[in-house]
Amino acid sequence: MRAQRKKAVAHAVVTHGRNPCCSRQRKSTWAKQHKEWHDMDVLYKSLHTADWHNRPHTTNKEEAEHYRKIDRAVNRDRAHLKIIGSLFWDLVPDAVVLVPASVHRQRVQQRPDLSWERAHAVAQHLRHLARKHSVPVFTSFDEAAEYLSCDCKK
């Protein structure tokens, strides 16, 4: 069963909620270079708009409802698409990518809309998620994609 659903990679640094990826890991750039992979930001842009991203969210419930809609879309699509991104709430990814903290911190500094505290908290959440659900953690998207492409039983 696991081999059938090996299609979703979560990253390490996300800007909102408990997304499966992290912000400033360069996932969008990687996905553009690997056409068989679909970037959540592009794939679900109708669900996660710039308006949503740029406005303050007043309640945890509001954020949870928003990201759970995306979780449902990912669960619907993951059987036939390879998906990479950081838009999630309860979704358990097939792999997590966490770049080294020093690299991540430098990348976060390039984003005026993202604090290191927020990015680091998401990375910690992803580490916890990976331990809890026995999700493998990688330091590069290439390593994660190679693992997920393997037909061998893990």
Antiparallel, parallel or unpaired: β 37-39 and 95-97: unpaired
* CATH domain 2-149 topology: Rossmann fold (3.40.50)
For the segment 99-108, the average pLDDT, to the nearest whole number, is: 83
H or E, element range at 90: none
Distance of alpha carbon 104 from alpha carbon 139, whole angstroms: 11
Q: pLDDT-derived band of residue 72, with 50, 70 and 90 as boundaries?
A: very high
Residue-wise pLDDT tens digits, 5-62: 445 555 432 222 223 455 545 778 888 888 888 889 899 999 988 787 777 777 889 8
38 contact partners, CB below 8 Å, separation of at least 6? 31, 77, 81, 82, 83, 84
Q: pLDDT-derived band of residue 68, with 50, 70 and 90 as boundaries?
A: very high
End-to-end CA distance of the chain: 11
> Whole-model pTM?
0.77
